[in-house]
Every structure is written in C-alpha cells, then in structure tokens.
C-alpha cells in the first residue's frame, strides 16, 4: 500500500494545477459520455509515461465514479482519495463542486443501465384517423409514441400506437409510478 501511495505522489506531483484541472474535467466529460480522454491530449503538458497516464486516469475515474466523493466530506471519502497529494485533493473537490450535477446524472445513468431498462428519450405524433376498412367514418385520434430505451446490451425504439383510452391508462400508470 505504501508503494501505491508513493507512486500516486510521484505521478501527480509532475502536474501543474491548470493541467490537473483540465485533466479532471476531461475525465468528468468522459464519464458523462463525451469525448474520451487520451494520452496524446496531455503528452505535451505532463511528463507522464503512458503507463503513468493510465494509472492516473484509472485513479481519477475510480474516485469520480465513487458516489461518496459527491458528498465532499472527508469522513466519507474513499481511502484512495486520502492517499493522493493535497493539491490533487483540492482540485478534485473543486472539480466535483463545479460538475456535481453532471456526475450525478452520469452515475445514475450508469447504474440504471446496469440494473435494468432505461428510457432515454421519446417522440410522439398525433394522427387523426378518418376511417378504416371496418368503419367508413371513424374520426378518432391516434397517438404514435416512440420510446427510445437502453439496457446494458443495446438501444432500441419501442413503437406504440395508442387510442384515447389506452393513452389515459398509460398516463394513469405513469402517475402512480411517479408518486
């Protein structure tokens, strides 16, 4: 454990505070599903080897993905946080303060995707049905609802066609679930 603490001290003392802030925010961006952090982005700014970069990235990802870090209370912080240099601890706290909302959303999304199907988005269209092969004049509204859902394996579109009664039942069911 002492070797890891020394290694972390060595890796993170090679970085000035501006570059560390950029690195932390880039890691948050990646956790939130944006552009991936690459070694090439920081190779000119930091004297890290590629292995040191991988270790630094993994440490930061482990810390930022730990929900306890979101509280910003020393008693709740993970052990690995305490092992990092004081300058890095301050930078992490500042970054989390600024980006807490983004991190919470990303962590909740990761958790929900791992543990079930998640509604990502929806699209709807309202149609007015004038008639059908069964009835010459129907004049009934019909809602086409596309639910874009994601689980741990894939993303798909669930297409629903609902008449007024079915739509009322769906709305009532959602209101009951929502509380």
Is the confidence at residue 135, as pLDDT, over 70? no
Name the domain boundary from 114, 138, 168. 114
Residue 123 pLDDT: 94
Task: Tell me how far CA of residue 41 lies from CA of 20, 36, 78, 94, 151, in angstroms.
Answer: 12, 10, 28, 22, 31
Is residue 106 domain-shared with residue 122, that is, in the same domain? Answer: no
Is residue 96 domain-shared with residue 149, that is, in the same domain? Answer: no
Name the domain boundary from 114, 144, 159. 114
- Mean pLDDT across the chain: 85
Closest CA to 103 of 111, 153, 87: 111
Residue 10 pLDDT: 80
Sheet of 155-162, strand order: 118-129, 140-150, 155-162
Residue 120 pLDDT: 84
Is residue 18 domain-shared with residue 66, that is, in the same domain? Answer: yes
- Each residue of 16-49: pLDDT tens digit? 888 899 999 999 999 998 888 888 888 888 888 8
Is the confidence at residue 156, as pLDDT, over 80? yes
Q: Is 137 exposed, middle or buried (0-12, 13-18, 19+ CB in 10 A)?
A: exposed
Is residue 23 domain-shared with residue 72, that is, in the same domain? Answer: yes
**133 falls in which pLDDT band (50, 70, 90)?**
low
Is residue 139 domain-shared with residue 51, that is, in the same domain? Answer: no
Is residue 110 domain-shared with residue 122, that is, in the same domain? Answer: no
Is residue 110 domain-shared with residue 22, that is, in the same domain? Answer: yes
Residue 88 pLDDT: 87
Name the domain boundary from 59, 87, 114. 114
Closest CA to 85 of 62, 65, 58, 56: 56
Is the confidence at residue 4, as pLDDT, over 80? no
Residue 94 pLDDT: 92
Is residue 61 domain-shared with residue 129, that is, in the same domain? Answer: no
Structural domain boundaries enclosing 126: 118-178
**Measured distance CA(89)–CA(1) in Å, rounded:** 18
Is residue 99 domain-shared with residue 140, that is, in the same domain? Answer: no
Is residue 63 domain-shared with residue 135, that is, in the same domain? Answer: no
């Amino acid at each position: 454990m002492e070797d890891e603490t020394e290694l972390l001290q060595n890796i993170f003392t090679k970085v000035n505070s501006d570059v560390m802030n950029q690195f932390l925010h880039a890691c948050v961006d990646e956790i939130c599903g944006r552009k991936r952090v690459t070694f090439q982005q920081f190779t000119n700014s930091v004297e890290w080897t590629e292995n040191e970069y991988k270790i630094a990235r993994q440490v930061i990802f482990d810390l930022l993905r730990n929900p306890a870090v979101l509280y910003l209370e020393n008693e709740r912080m993970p052990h690995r946080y305490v092992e990092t240099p004081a300058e890095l601890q301050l930078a992490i706290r500042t970054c989390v303060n600024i980006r807490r909302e983004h991190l919470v959303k990303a962590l909740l999304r990761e958790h929900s995707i791992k543990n079930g199907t998640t509604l990502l988005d929806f699209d709807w269209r309202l149609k007015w049905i004038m008639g059908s092969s069964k009835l010459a004049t129907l004049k009934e509204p019909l809602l086409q609802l596309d639910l874009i859902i994601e689980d741990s394996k894939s993303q798909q579109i669930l297409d629903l066609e609902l008449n007024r009664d079915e739509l009322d039942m769906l709305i009532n069911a959602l209101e009951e679930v929502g509380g």
